[in-house]
Structure 1
Amino acid sequence: MLVQIVLFDGFDLLDAIAPYEVFSAADMLSGGKIKVELVTLQSCDQVISAPGDLPIAVKGAPDLGRADFLLVPGAAGSVEPEAEDSLLTIVAREAAGGLPELAKQALSREGCTLVTVCGGSLILGMGGALDGRHAVTHHMGMPAFAATGVIPVQARVVDDGDLISCGGVTSGLDVALHVVDRFVGPRIAHAVETLFEYERRGAVWRACGPDPVGLPEQHSLPEEQAPVLAGNDETPQSDHPLFGTWQMKVHSPIGVQDVKFVFAPAGDGITGQALRGEDAPIDLTDVTISGSRVMWSQKVEKPLKLNLRFDTQLNGDTLVGAAKAGMLPKSKVEGVRIP
């Protein structure tokens, strides 16, 4: 069996090296039953890790014709959202790159198992590769994870068949040991644990067996709900200044996105659409006016898959505010009315 760990500039070093060590030890202790390689989609022979900008040698590109397992680590970077090397910038860049498509191909190939470590699943979820699948990511990313169409599960390791994920800074050890246990054998996994003087943390969550009774549902997080205003929503008149077309700029982590928003009255409510280039119009939901405050929700498919909540202020012919998805930092939104 062959594990290929896919690296990218800014990958978290521990997310990749911890599983690499586990698989290398399992290979030694099993007499060569599981091999591991470091690969990349980038055209280079070294990939720069984070933190510390440590260069790591790679053996070429991923090869799904050879690989039995494809492992995607998370990213590491500055927590300041505006920084060039911010964690969010790296995650968004990779989510809009080739990793999600590679993951989709791995999941469609019989006999191939996709493994993600910590924020690696968030990258793939934002790229639309994990729709409807059970998975976990780093705890700070779980609300945003729910907004990508994934079914988030609060567990150390989540085994969803051909998709195995883990959440936590050191969880790469646990998920790699689980892979060894499941596919090579529990005695080899135990031998690696003994060699490393490490014991796996937490029960592995699987979508099987009876449902727990007598306890509230705790395994998943709901999508972030739009805020409820306390009795001050308005039913706008047909000549309300919001109605019309707005040219907006959304300052996202992967650059400025130009979007047109169209608002119109609809009975006692408001309808809206987002228009971007040649893409099909996207209907807005939960459009609410409260004084000068205008809010709405929008499902975004490109360049990243997210459910966004907009919160803006209307001032004459300008709309200014922010868009947010889960725990991800806010993105500035600004725009003007156009004819």
Structure 2
Amino acid sequence: MLMQIVLFEGFDPLDVIAPFEVLATGADLAGRPQDEVRLVAADGPGEVTGATRGLGLRAAAALDPAAPGYVIVPGAGGAVAQIPAILGRVAQSALIPQVRAALDAPGVTVAAVCGGSLALALAGLLRGRPAVTHTLGMDALAATGARPVRARVVDDGDLVTAGGVTSGLDLGLHLVEREYGPRVAVAVQELFEYERRGTAWRDAGAEPVGA
């Protein structure tokens, strides 16, 4: 299984690093070291600059939308006033056709943290689907035709979204529980000395999960 976390110019570093560490640790604790967590970019390998004081990370490969596993889209960072412009550029970038292909591919779940959900919504990928983003973007999310849900994590099957910046930890733990079970998720929480926050929401009358 391949877990791909997408980098784009202006990404928020915590949206990337939090799920990366949680997912990698979950795979290790589950005895699944073959499950790779990889930093990727729409246009291939190379250094990508985040929005926090020029902090950069290196994409190891191009995004493969057909690879079974997860594609995780972070939000944007930096000054609040600059974030809408960054997300708008992402919504019109080469990343969007690749994420659309991932949503259509069997065995692939697309996930997004914070403003990453809004970027996908602005591109029309979340129309009619339950989702969450940062609290400051919930009205904009609704305006795109998505169904905003005020929860920490919203699980709609092949689409999983999470709220504000620190919810990248909760998203990672939710995906670990989906993939490896609650025992491994709890083990990761204990190792990280972190307790999941809020509600992980599922549709169709399913029981909410989460602390």
Contact 2:66–2:101 (8 Å) recurs in 1: no
1:163-202 aligned within 5 A:
163-202=159-198
Give 3-state SS (helix, strand or coil) of 1:20's partner.
Answer: helix
Unaligned stretches of 5+ in structure 1? 81-85, 212-339
Alignment TM-score, normalising by the size of structure 1: 0.59
Shift of 1:100: 2.4
Show structure 1 runs of 4+ deviating over 3 A: none
Give 3-state SS (helix, strand or coil) of 1:11's partner.
Answer: coil
What CA distance in whole angstroms lies between the structure 2 residues aligned with 1:210 and 1:197? 28
Q: 1:128 is matched with which residue?
A: 124
What CA distance in whole angstroms lies between the structure 2 residues aligned with 1:77 and 1:67? 32
Q: 1:92 is matched with which residue?
A: 88
Could you tell me which amino acid in structure 1 is paired with residue 114 of structure 2?
C
Q: 2:23 is matched with which residue?
A: 23
1:238-317 aligned within 5 A:
none
Q: 2:56 is matched with which residue?
A: 55
Unaligned stretches of 5+ in structure 2? none
Q: 2:114 is matched with which residue?
A: 118
> CA 1:144–1:198 in structure 2 vs 1: closer, same or farther (change >3 Å)?
same
Shift of 1:189: 0.7
Contact 1:99–1:124 (8 Å) recurs in 2: no
Q: 1:78 is matched with which residue?
A: 79
Aligned length in residues: 206
What CA distance in whole angstroms lies between the structure 1 residues aligned with 2:161 and 2:87? 17
Alignment TM-score, normalising by the size of structure 2: 0.93
Deviations 1:114-164 (A, max 9, x none): 010011000000011111111000000000110111111110000001100
- Kindly indicate whether structure 1 or structure 2 has the higher relative contact order, using CA contacts under 8 Å at least 6 residues apart: 2
Contact 2:42–2:98 (8 Å) recurs in 1: no
What CA distance in whole angstroms lies between the structure 1 residues aligned with 2:89 and 2:158? 25
Deviations 1:196-234 (A, max 9, x none): 0111111211112289xxxxxxxxxxxxxxxxxxxxxxx
Q: 1:8 is matched with which residue?
A: 8
Structure 1 vs Structure 2 CA RMSD: 1.5
Give 3-state SS (helix, strand or coil) of 2:53's partner.
Answer: coil
Could you tell me which amino acid in structure 2 is paired with residue 48 of structure 1?
T
Contact 1:4–1:67 (8 Å) recurs in 2: no
Could you tell me which amino acid in structure 2 is paired with residue 185 of structure 1?
G
Are positions 1:103 and 2:104 aligned together? Answer: no
Give 3-state SS (helix, strand or coil) of 2:61's partner.
Answer: coil
Could you tell me which amino acid in structure 2 is paired with residue 133 of structure 1?
R
Q: 1:41 is matched with which residue?
A: 42
Identity rate, percent? 50
Give 3-state SS (helix, strand or coil) of 1:130's partner.
Answer: coil
